[in-house]
Structure 1
Amino acid sequence: MTADPLSRVFAALADPTRRDMVARLAAGDATVTELAEPYDVSVQAVSKHLRVLEDAGLVSRTRDAQRRPVHLEAEVFSLMTKWIERYRLQAEERYRRLDDVLRGMSDDPDATTQPTPAFE
């Protein structure tokens, strides 16, 4: 697996089951058995999914007597959010420039309003 933390996070979240587990953990901690309930897979399969999430830093496991709850590490999402936000801002700036160009074209009194026919 790659050493790049952002790549590990995106790779872990590429699987819909793992995304669903993360969404469920956003509501609070759960055990592996509790996380396995809605899926038609074994507890071992859920444990493998959790291992991928854990390796990406998205979840951690603690010990509470006999219980081993899985906890969502929400601060990891700030890494993703910063990355996404950077590209969102760049895209918005490009759209603003395009809007300016289009506005300038419609304000040009010499601009033709009739489309040029493709074939004559």
Structure 2
Amino acid sequence: MRKLVIGALVLAALGGCAGSKMNAARSGTPYKTLASDKAALVVAQCIQFGWQDETVFGVDAGGFKEPIEAGGFTVYTTGGDYFVDVRSAGAGSSVHYYAADDSMVAKRRLAALATCL
């Protein structure tokens, strides 16, 4: 039980750091803006699942999903360096992908999320 509590506290602390980093990134331009005919929840769940693929991302595999205001979801990595805001847009959804840098990891995460559109 104690390990579970400690694990929850660590995740909460990481979430706080990631949250401020993500809010700062949102004030700028997304790395890529995309659209989908699918519902926001379906797209967000698919991205989360894809980002958790250890064969693609190794130890950096991680995808967490949280609801955001105005009917959508944020899917993000452990440190918040890569995240996507998926919002409802008509019958489909809009996808705003943010990346800390223009690296191969950023491109790999973009490719994984593109398969969900």
Using CA pairs under 8 Å that are at least 6 residues apart, name the structure with larger relative contact order, 1 or 2: 2
TM-score when normalising by structure 1: 0.21
Q: When you count helix as a share of all residues, which structure comes out higher?
A: 1
TM-score when normalising by structure 2: 0.21
